[in-house]
Amino acid sequence: MARRAELQLLLLSMLLVATPAHSAPAGTIVFTTLGRSRYSFDIFALPLNHLALSSSSSFHAAASAEVRLTDGISVNYNGNFAPSSDALLFVSERNGSHNLYLSPAPKPPTSRREALEDDSPTPLLPWIEPAALRDRPSLTRDGSRLVYVSTALPANAPRRSWAAVYSARLPLSSARAPRRLTPPGVADFSPAVSPSGDWTAAASPGAAGWAGEVQDLRTDVYVFRTDDGSRRTLVVKDGGWPCWADEATLFFHRRDADGWYGVYRAKIEISDALSAVSSVERITPPGFHAFTPAASPGAPGLVAVATRRPGSDYRHIEVVDLSSGTDKAAYLEVTRPVAPRAHHFNPFVSPDGARIGYHRCRGSGNGDSPLLLESLRSPSAPDAFSLFRIDGSYPSFSPDGKRIAYVGLPGLYVVNSDGSGGRRKIFSGNAFPTSWDWKRKGVIYTSIGPDFASESTEVDVVAVSLSLSDEDTQQVSIKKLSVGGKNNAFPSPSPDGKWLVFRSGRSGHKNLYIMDAEDGEAASGIRRLTDGPWSDTMCNWSPDGEWIAFASDRHNPGGGSFSIYMVHPNGTGLRRVVHSADGGRTNHPWFSPDSKSLVFTSDLAAVSAEPIANPHHYQPYGEIFTVNIDGSGLQRLTHNSFEDGTPAWTPYFLEPRNVAETLQASGRCAFHDCYWLDIDDAQPGDDGLRYAHGNKIGC
């Protein structure tokens, strides 16, 4: 009876999360995901027995031995070999949502570097609402049970991760609903199943939860039963990304006080009563980063790791040979000889120890063009609104829905929303954000100058007027509207086209002001809307003209916490709509076409994966949400481990299909590794580390 009640609660919770609080107006929501449009990840493998000792006593792999295991459709990553064969488990974002797939064991290569299957990969889980993240798949030894991470169920408090480990018996059916192994109120990341299939290890912050970290998550390693999550035991303090070498050996990574990520080996003892650690030792020395370890019973003494070494701008896969002891460990280069100028992520080793897998970009440099717009599965009814990711930042739709303006930081661009004609650069400097005039055709408001700057930084609001003809040449004029350059930014016009609300730091604090949308401040002056020793910013005027929404830290000035507020244009009716808890960040509100809802980005759902497993994201906790303007009906729209932000909403419904760039931008694979892994030569007083751009920048 308890098991049946648990399943009923799970299914009911899924239904409640999937059901919007009101019938949202038809339209389209577009947002940005930092770098995601350029990933083009596929999963590759190299045979470990092909590694040969060279005259320089280092190991090298021939490029001709590399095999591509996934089919080049969408983004494919975080693979794992099935325990009884070389069949491949992996995560894919095809069809507009995350799912877990199984591909058959590869056939002999048909060409250099490529061995693609005739059979399409098989989805292991049905698509459900909400469109939850599914990640880090593993199969038990007999192939009957799938273990994975999912964000299907909401956390019980703001700024708590939805990520939890689930177990599903295959094939899935109504009588075999997935079972949550993670306790309520707790998050788990990066699960790994033991060779016997009896035990699962995972990284978890435990009851403490997430504290806003954007680098290492301060997790511990727990072990629990794979079938029901019982006998959960903390076995390693301060560790992440566990993997099993055998039933008594776990590898994991940890960032130590010296600043370096290192890989550790823990010997554990599991009895009927408890699980305990008998020893922990570091197997990679300081002086370079080593993380996301992988091991296999078929390769005793070997552990695969991703590394970032001084002098390299890329992460690569190496194999550490511990057969002669930790002090004499040999390092076998795997990916650098094959693709030296590409990032390689999250290795995994076949059960027989014969192959090592990883994911990287299938292209290099300026290969195939990225998607301009990527259609995602919406958690609402398909006729409510369509949901798109754009390859740019701060997008906004023209009043007729036919064009989208966005910025490239630097650069201001305009594209047709159907993808025709390619993107047009109309300004080459740094501009942010974008909003279109409701009445004057072809007028875009933006601010020119540095983003993320202090109150006194020179930034001004401008109106960009352009011809919207289909010709290649077009007239562009720029008119400065604000005066003084004291960080005047985030302009948003009133629906009658007469006024412009914006933020300014002219008082020494960032507050909101209103000026004439056409004549600007110099001709008509300004009116102050908010006043206080805090930051009011990221404002948006409602389509019905009644409200201005904005982000503010007025509840905790200077504390780094932002919430969504609303105020009438005459300064009355101030109220807070969304608060993601003390320390939380809820930003970039944009009204729905009927002015009854807001779309925004927030850390309400914390993080969904260990940030080090991904490319660079300044804020890997950002997700897109909607809420009614009275604060009810909160709904999560995106589920991923990336940084989503700067959403906009148009009343026009775009058909849910992907739109490719017709004019190549900077191409696929144009993204960075985590900046906080960037290392120059060791400098005295830097604890061996020196970070890019002179700052310790969060990933």
The DSSP output letter for 458 is: B
pLDDT tens readout for residues 648-678: 999 999 988 888 876 555 567 878 899 889 8
pLDDT band at 694 (very low <50, low <70, confident <90, very high): very low
**C-beta separation of 40 from 345 below 8 A:** no
**This prediction's pTM:** 0.90
Give 583's pLDDT tier (boundaries 50, 70, 90): confident
Q: Are 564 and 578 in contact (CB under 8 A)?
A: yes
Is residue 100 a contact partner of residue 91, using CB atoms and an 8 Å limit? yes
- Return the amino acid letter for 231: R
Contact predicate 385/653, CB 8 Å: yes
* pLDDT higher than 50, residue 684: no
Lowest mean pLDDT: which of 11-25, 387-401, 477-491, 585-599?
11-25
Helix (H) / strand (E) element for 389: namely strand 386-390
Percentage, residues of the chain above pLDDT 70: 85
* Of 480, 577, 507, 498, the residue nearest 541 (C-alpha): 498
Residue-by-residue DSSP string for 573-610: --EEEE---TT-BEEEEEE-TTSSEEEEEE-TT--SS-
| pLDDT of amino acid 680 | 58
Look at phi and psi of residue 252 and say left if phi exceeds 0, alpha if psi is from -120 to 50, else beta: beta
Cα–Cα distance measured from residue 532 to residue 574, given in angstroms and rounded to the nearest whole number = 13
Beta bridge mates, 537: 551
Residue 317: closest CA among 298, 297, 296, 289: 289
Q: How confident is the model at residue 57 (pLDDT cuts 50, 70, 90)?
A: very low
Residues 102-145 pLDDT 10s: 998 666 555 444 444 456 899 998 877 667 999 999 999 988 89
Whether residue 379 is preceded by a cis peptide bond, meaning omega within 30 degrees of 0, is: no
